Amino acid sequence: MTDVSRRKVLSLLAGGFVAFLASPSAVDAMPTIRAGDICKKLGRRTTEGNKTFECVNSNGKRVWKRVTKTTQPTSTTQPATPTTSEVKVLDSSALTVGKSENVVVNSGGRNFAVVVTRTSAGVFAFNRACTHQGTLVTVNSLNQLECISHGSLFNLTTGAVIEGPASRALTSYKVTERSGAIYLTL
């Protein structure tokens, strides 16, 4: 058996490591996708470089097809303006003076968490999502709207911030009362 010095072993290991780093990797050795090449799964998309390909059925064969970015045509019509809707939320008899109710209002396929309050000054409604981080507010013992997460306080009749960390007032909704019912305009 021949004597091998430490220096020789280290130089062999270092040389092998450099050769390993300089050799093409398995990823580099993989063939690239070209339009027309056979693919296996319809609808699959893959990107190589800055080109995107999709597996499509062409003349009974599954092949890769280059996907080009399509730009949306510019519309000459004005975008649709948000519509408002009036939604019945409560019967008038369900809300006595000094009382608040939490309701969920569905309008346009969306749900809105709303707190509705009757005071001697009238009926008021606010979105229950705190303007700080979106946690739902509740009415506390001091007749204020309070965020249970971080303690923001809001005025029950105006939605204005009494105490932060919230810095914006709650979203208010127009309230109308007629024919024994309370309606919100969203």
List the domain boundaries for the chain. 33-70, 86-185
- Least reliable range by pLDDT among 21-25, 75-79, 127-131: 75-79
**Residue 22 pLDDT more than 70?**
no
One-letter amino acid of 146: E
Looking at residues 162-167, what average pLDDT do you find? Answer: 85
Give residue 76's pLDDT. Answer: 43
CA distance 105 to 118: 18
Find out whether 178 and 123 touch, Cβ atoms under 8 Å: no
pLDDT for 118 beyond 80: yes
Q: Is the pLDDT of residue 97 over 80?
A: yes
Mean pLDDT, all residues of the chain:
78
Can you tell me the mean pLDDT for 34-51?
A: 80
CA 183 to chain centre: 29
* pTM for this prediction: 0.52
Token duo for residue 139: 């009415």
> According to the model, what pLDDT value does residue 78 have?
42
Decide: 132 and 166 in contact? Cβ < 8 Å. yes
DSSP helix/strand/coil, 19: helix
**C-alpha to C-alpha distance for 167 and 45, rounded to whole angstroms:** 45
pLDDT in the model for residue 60: 82
pLDDT of 83: 47
Choose the CATH number for 86-185 among 3.40.50.300, 3.20.20.150, 2.102.10.10, 2.60.40.10.
2.102.10.10
DSSP code at position 8: H
Residue 151 pLDDT > 60: yes
pLDDT computed for residue 148 by the predictor: 83
Q: How confident is the model at residue 30 (pLDDT cuts 50, 70, 90)?
A: low
**Rg (the chain; Cα; Å):** 33
- Tell me how far apart the alpha carbons of residues 83 and 39 are, in angstroms, rounded to a whole number: 47
Q: Are 58 and 35 in contact (CB under 8 A)?
A: no
pLDDT at 84 (0 to 100): 62
**pLDDT band, very low/low/confident/very high, at 81 (cuts 50, 70, 90):** very low
Using pLDDT thresholds of 50, 70 and 90, give the confidence band for residue 23: low
Q: Can you give the pLDDT at residue 37?
A: 85
Beta bridge partners of 90: 182
